[in-house]
Homo-oligomer: A and B are copies of this chain.
Amino acid sequence: MEPYPAWTFLVSFLAMTSSCDGGKVLVFPVDGSHWLNMKIIVEALHSQGHQITVLRSSSSWYISEFSPYYTSITIIQEQSQPIESQNFMSSFLKRSMEINKNDGSLWAFFELYWNFFNLLVQNQQVVANFTSSIFENTTLIGDLNKTGYDLFLTDPTFPGGVLLAHYLQLPLVYNVRWLFSGEAHLAVAPSPVSYIPICFSHNSDKMDFFQRIRNMIHYIMVLYRDYYVSRPPYQALCDRYFGNNVNVMSLTQKADLWLMRVDFTFEFPRPTMPNVIYVGGFQSKPSKPLSSEFEEFVQSSGEHGVIVMTLGTLLSDLGHELTESFASAFASLPQKVVWRHVGKRPATLGNNTMLVEWMPQNDLLGHPKTKVFVTHGGTNGLYEAIYHGVPVLGIPLIFDQHDNVVHLKARGVAEMLDVTKLNADSLTSALKNILDPEKPYKQNMLELSQLHHDQPMKPLDNAVFWMEYVMRHKGAAHLRTESYNLPWYAYHCLDVIAVLVAFVVLLISIFIWVSCKCLFTCVMKTKKSKRE
Contacts and interface: CB of A to CB of B under 8 A. Distances in A.
B205 A481 contact: yes
A492 interface: yes
Interface residues of A, number: 79
B271 A481 contact: yes
A194 B453 contact: no
A462 B15 CA distance: 15
A473 B482 CA distance: 36
A356 to B, nearest CB: 20
Given A450-B473, A457-B456, A491-B192, A496 B274 contact: no
B9 A493 contact: no
A506 interface: no
Interface stretch (A89-97, A208-216, A346-354, A523-531): A208-216
Contact of A1 (B12, B295, B387): B295
A500 B389 CA distance: 42
Interface in A212-248: 212-213, 215-217
A286 interface: yes
Interface stretch (A110-118, A156-164, A262-270, A319-327): A262-270
Given A273-B272, A368-B2, A388 B287 contact: no
B451 A478 contact: yes
B473 A454 contact: yes
Contact of A192 (B274, B389, B492): B492
A391 to B, nearest CB: 16
Contact of A493 (B16, B193, B500): B193
Contacts of A1: 295, 299
A453 B15 contact: yes
Given A192-B491, A486-B194, A490-B194, A271 B271 contact: yes
A9 B387 CA distance: 10
A469 B460 CA distance: 20
A286 B8 contact: yes
B272 A274 contact: yes
A458 interface: yes
A259 to B, nearest CB: 14
Interface of A: 1-2, 4-5, 8-9, 11-12, 14-16, 189-190, 192-195, 205-206, 209, 212-213, 215-217, 264-265, 268-275, 286-287, 289, 295, 299, 366-369, 387-389, 411, 447, 449-451, 453-458, 462, 465, 469, 472-473, 478-483, 486, 490-493, 495-497, 499-500
B194 A492 contact: yes
Nearest to A368: B5
Contact of A11 (B193, B209, B454): B454
A192 B195 contact: no
Among A447, A450, A478, A495, chain B packs the most CB atoms within 10 A around the CB of A478
20 contacts: A12-B458, A15-B454, A16-B456, A190-B190, A190-B192, A192-B491, A194-B496, A195-B486, A215-B496, A216-B497, A216-B500, A269-B275, A269-B479, A271-B273, A411-B478, A447-B473, A451-B473, A451-B478, A456-B456, A456-B457
Contacts of A367: 4
Contacts of A496: 193-194, 209, 212-213, 215-216
A8 B478 contact: no
